[in-house]
């Protein structure tokens, strides 16, 4: 089976984040860890930010695939919450770095795609016009990203309880008809 170099680079990036300061991770350090050439790195990624964003997207896509196999919206949310809590040490280092804005933008975009996937799976008859759907997704992806980043590092986090709370909030929003202005 051929080696997926993007996965190798992404995995080493995550390992470097675990071990040290995110702001000190350079392309040079990463290619040395991966034992690859600079040319190989740039064939797969534009820069370190691209590695980070690709890694976040990939993990979110995997979570979405798993969550869409689950029987309820709550289960998908719980999976996302538990995964975020399990990765919180890495997430926190990214939040404390100069890449914070790029990271939160990437995470929010991924949470938005995650919510859209859950919406299509669990609420296929969510009949609103496209602009309202976009606002619904934008609002809730930003809110959920904030919740994940705020609650993810808490020791007393109860992922099942938080997912049930979030499910009630989302379902209430989905059930209320939007008034025309």
Task: Tell me what pLDDT residue 2 has.
Answer: 61
Domains of the chain, by residue range, sit at 48-175
pLDDT of residue 90: 86
What separation in angstroms does the CA of 23 have from each of 26, 83, 180?
A: 8, 24, 47
Helix (H/G/I), strand (E/B), else coil: 154? coil
Q: Which two tokens stand for residue 117?
A: 């996937």
Q: What is residue 31's predicted lDDT score, i.e. its pLDDT?
A: 95
pLDDT, tens digit, 9 for 90 and up, residues 162-180: 999 998 888 877 766 555 5
Q: What percent of the chain has pLDDT over 90?
A: 35
pLDDT (tens digit per residue) in 135-165:
989 999 999 999 988 988 888 899 999 999 9
What pLDDT is recorded for position 181?
Answer: 43
For residue 6, give every residue at least 6 positions away whose Cβ sits within 8 Å of its Cβ, in sequence order, or none.
Answer: 44, 45, 54
Residue ranges for the chain with pLDDT beneath 70: 1-2, 175-181
pLDDT for 177: 55
What per-residue confidence (pLDDT) applies to 106?
86
What per-residue confidence (pLDDT) applies to 176?
Answer: 61
DSSP states of 103-124: HHHHHHHHHHHHHHHHHHHH-T
CATH architecture of 48-175: Orthogonal Bundle (1.10)
Give the containing element (helix H, strand E) for 28. helix 27-34
> Are 44 and 13 contacting, i.e. CB atoms less than 8 angstroms apart?
no
């Amino acid at each position: 089976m051929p080696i997926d170099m993007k996965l190798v680079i992404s995995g080493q990036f995550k390992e470097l984040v675990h071990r040290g300061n995110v702001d000190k991770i350079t392309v040079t350090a990463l290619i040395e860890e991966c034992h690859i050439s600079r040319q190989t790195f740039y064939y797969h990624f534009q820069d370190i930010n691209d590695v980070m964003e690709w890694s976040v997207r990939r993990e979110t896509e995997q979570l979405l695939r798993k969550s869409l196999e689950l029987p309820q919206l709550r289960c998908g949310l719980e999976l996302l919450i538990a995964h975020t809590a399990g990765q919180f040490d890495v997430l926190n280092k990214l939040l404390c770095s100069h890449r914070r804005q790029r990271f939160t933008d990437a995470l929010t975009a991924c949470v938005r795609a995650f919510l859209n996937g859950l919406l299509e799976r669990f609420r296929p008859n969510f009949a609103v016009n496209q602009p309202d759907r976009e606002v619904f997704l934008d609002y809730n992806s930003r809110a959920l990203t904030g919740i994940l980043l705020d609650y993810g590092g808490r020791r007393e986090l109860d992922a099942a309880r938080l997912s049930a709370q979030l499910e009630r909030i989302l379902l209430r929003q989905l059930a209320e008809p939007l008034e025309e202005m």
